[in-house]
Structure 1
Amino acid sequence: MGSVSNNTINTNVKACSPLTGAKRLREMLKDPSKVVVCPGVFDGFTARLALAAGYDALYMTGAGTSMSRLGWADLGIATLNDMKSNAEMIASLNPSVPLIADADTGYGGPIMVTRTVTQYARAGVAALHIEDQVQEKRCGHLLGKQIVDREIYFSRLRAAVMARDQLQSDIVLIARTDSRQTYGFDEAIERLQEAVKIGVDAVFLEALQTKEEMEKVCQIMGETPVLLNVVPGGVTPEYTIEEASKMGFRIIIYPGLCIGSVLESVGKELKLLKTTGKSSPRSSANGVKDAFNLCGLQECIEIDKEAGGKAYATVGK
Structure 2
Amino acid sequence: MSAARTLRSLLAQDRCHVMPCCFDALSAKLIAQEGYDLTFMSGFAASASRIGAPDLGLMSYGEVVDQARNITEAVDIPLIGDGDTGYGNAMNVRRTVTGFAKAGCASVMIEDQLAPKRCGHTPGKAVVGRDEAFDRIRAAVDAREEIRAAGGDILILARTDARHEHGLAEAIDRAARFAELGADILFVEAPRTEAEMRTVCAELPGPKMANIVEGGATPDLPNAAMHDIGYAIAAYPLSLMAAAMQAMVRTLRGMRDDRRPDLMDFAELRTRIGFDAYYAASERYASSRRTPD
* TM-score using structure 1 length: 0.88
* Local SS of the residue matching 1:194: helix
Q: CA RMSD, aligned part only?
A: 1.6
Report the equivalent of 1:191.
174
Q: Which residue of 1 aligns with 2:247?
A: 265
Q: Which amino acid aligns with 1:309?
A: S
**Does residue 1:143 correspond to 2:123, yes or no?**
yes
**Counterparts of 2:263 and 2:278 in 1: how far apart (Å)?**
25
Residue of structure 2 in register with 1:299 after alignment: 277
CA distance in 1, matches of 2:263, 2:98: 43
Is the alpha carbon distance of 1:306 and 1:243 closer, same or farther for their aligned partners in structure 2, counting shifts above 3 Å? same
Match in the other structure for 1:123: 103
Contact 2:89–2:136, Cα closer than 8 Å, also in 1 = yes
Tell me by how many angstroms 1:245 deviates. 0.4
1:79-101, Cα deviation, whole Å (9 max, x unpaired): 11111111111111223x11112
Does 2:222 correspond to 1:245? no
- Give yes or no for the alignment of 1:44 onto 2:25: yes
Cα separation, 2, equivalents of 1:94 and 1:146: 34
Equivalent residue number for residue 86 of structure 1: 67
**How big is the shift at 1:20?**
2.0
- Residues in 2 aligned to 1:261 and 1:114: alpha-carbon distance in whole angstroms: 35
Q: In the TM superposition, what whole-angstrom CA distance separates every residue of 1:111-154 from its partner, at most 9, and x where no partner exists?
A: 11111100100111011111111111110001111110011111
Cα deviation 1:158-196 (Å, max 9, x = unaligned): 111011100103311011000101000111011011111
Is the 2:28–2:39 contact (alpha carbons within 8 Å) kept by the matching residues of 1? yes
Task: Give the 3-state SS of the residue equivalent to 1:192 in structure 2.
Answer: helix
The 2-side partners of 1:34 and 1:170 are apart by 23
Q: Secondary structure at the match of 1:238?
A: coil
Q: How does 1:140-219 map to 2 (within 5 A)?
A: 140-168=120-148, 169-219=152-202
How far, CA to CA, are the matches of 1:258 and 1:280 in structure 2? Answer: 19
Tell me, yes or no, if the aligned pair for 2:29 and 2:75 is still in contact at 8 Å: no
Could you tell me which residue of structure 1 aligns to residue 286 of structure 2? 308
Contact 2:111 2:159 survives alignment (8 Å): yes
Aligned to 1:60: 41
Unmatched 5+ residue regions in structure 2?
A: none
- Cα 1:154/1:291, change in 2 over 3 Å: same
CA contact (8 A) 2:160 2:174 kept: yes
Give the count of matched residue pairs: 290
Q: Deviations over 1:239-298 (max 9, x none)?
A: 011110000001111001111101111100011112x13532637xx52x4323211111
Q: Is the 8 A contact 2:16 2:226 kept in 1?
A: no
Deviations 1:194-221 (A, max 9, x none): 1111111010000101111100111111
TM-score, scaled to structure 2: 0.95
1:230 aligns with 2:212: yes
Which AA in structure 2 matches 1:296? G
